[in-house]
A and B are shown apart, each in its own frame.
Chain A
Amino acid sequence: MIEISRLSKRYGAKTAVDDVSFSVRPGRVTGFLGPNGAGKSTTLRVLLGLDHPTSGTALIDGRRYRDLRHPLRTVGALLDGAGPVPERRAIDHLTWIAQSNRIPRRRVREVLDLVGLGDAAGQRVKKYSLGMGQRLGIAAALLGDPEILVLDEPVNGLDPDGIRWVRTFLREFAAGGRTVLLSSHLMTEMAETADEAVVIANGRIVARGSIEELTAGHASLETAFFALTEG
């Protein structure tokens, strides 16, 4: 379970995240929605120990991410700007990540096969398409067979088959009692994948609830989103 409590993050005079609280429960796919610059990525970076909070806490099963000795066995993450060196082979990229968290080497092959990159494992990442790079990021997130997934825009660059694969995978992952926090600004995709959503705008939470609750009185999640974030 993920618990964000009264989290704030300021960069100088700018407040990126302002007193944000929400929790992400197991067995559900929780969407994290907001326009660019709303504070989504900052919240995720603090949750994953990359940035220090100004105040408040972001906990994973009651502990800070930084206090997890082998965090990838608990949390799998896909974040913008956390990709491999393009000259490295995909299999080498996953191998060093696996070694860093004492994950068995066989998992490297397993996750590459799982995301459909088994035949491209020996290729250098610079030869990958955008979608293949995104699949590699998802493979890295799955390496430690984690209970929790935190994915920032996972379907970016994926073709329709890839998008459907991610959607089905995340639904099954959550159905197995695991936790998924999914950030995306593709509303149609979010509506089909998430059970519930948290909406953030200007650094503050403006709405949260099931997709049905959020879309009540609106034609779609997209119109609900604009009503919530522009209102």
Chain B
Amino acid sequence: MRAEFTRIRTLPATWIALAVTLAANTLLGLLAATDTVRVATSDGQVAVSQLGTVMLAPVYAFLAVPVFAAGRELRISLLATPDRNRFLLAKLLASAGTTIVAAPVLLLPGLLVRHAAGSLPAEMTAYLLLGLVGGGFAVLTRTAVIPLAVLLALPVLVSPMLAGLLPGLVRLLPHEATLSFLGTSTGPALSRTAGFWVLLAWAVVFVGAAWVATVRRDS
């Protein structure tokens, strides 16, 4: 696991993703706290703080960390750790550990300026579970591009298109479940508890699928 931490820490993309996430979270926190920017929606002018999708957007910059950590250097990692169970366990623990260490630093400044520090545990949980979804997805597809593209396309393209037609389905997507869990959904929402369980289920499904694929398939 120490090797995985070193691998993540020495990747320049890690630090770029963390810097972008911190900057975006802090900027959004400032905009939300001062209410200097309002966004035109079909319901009229809405404060940034009320747009859950916008406030959650920085997590997609952060997702590059677990996704890049999981999807790259697969063959050399397997040569170093040929036991597939140990290999995946080390990757997941390192990815989760990185989130637990980094998330408070990334989230607190933005939360503090809008006097919402009490949301830190829920936001950290959301980062952790979405990170596991992204990491599992990257191991499954062995690329960084596909997981990032799909996870970003869900809230940007899929949810808006299907929200009116299939609201019951849309609220089960990872992004929408996260918004429900955080209590910031503006669309068809689940309860906060149900949102947590749905997001957890997504993490379990992606990590489980990655685990089965890693053990069974060739490199």
| Contact (Cβ within 8 A) B76 A97 | yes
| Contact (Cβ within 8 A) B218 A52 | yes
Given contacts A79-B79, A84-B76, A101-B80, contact A45 B6 (CB under 8 A): no
Which of the 9-residue segments A20-28, A65-73, A153-161 touches chain B? A65-73
Q: How many residues of A contact B (CB 8 A)?
A: 32
Residue numbers in A under 8 Å from B76 (CB-CB)? 82-84, 97, 140
Residue numbers in B under 8 Å from A101 (CB-CB)? 80
| Contact (Cβ within 8 A) A95 B10 | yes
Q: Report which of A82, A93, A99 forms a contact with B79, defined as CB distance below 8 A.
A: A82
Q: Total A-B residue pairs with C-beta atoms closer than 8 Å? A: 70
Measured between alpha carbons, how far is A42 from B7 in the docked complex, in Å? 27
Q: A6 interface residue, CB < 8 Å from B? A: no
Q: B164 interface residue, CB < 8 Å from A? A: no
Interface flags, A151-181, vs B, CB<8A=1, else 0: 0000000000000000000000000000000
| Contact (Cβ within 8 A) A49 B78 | yes
Interface of B is mostly: helix
24 contacts between A and B (CB under 8 A): A45-B218, A48-B82, A49-B79, A49-B82, A51-B219, A66-B82, A66-B83, A66-B84, A68-B82, A71-B82, A77-B79, A81-B75, A82-B75, A83-B76, A85-B11, A87-B11, A87-B12, A88-B10, A96-B3, A96-B6, A97-B76, A98-B3, A99-B6, A100-B77
A residues with a Cβ closer than 8 A to B are 45, 48-52, 65-66, 68-69, 71-72, 77, 79, 81-85, 87-89, 92-93, 95-101, 140
11 extra A-B contacts, CB within 8 A, seeds A81-B75, A96-B3: A71-B80, A72-B80, A88-B11, A89-B10, A96-B6, A96-B7, A97-B76, A99-B2, A100-B4, A100-B77, A100-B81
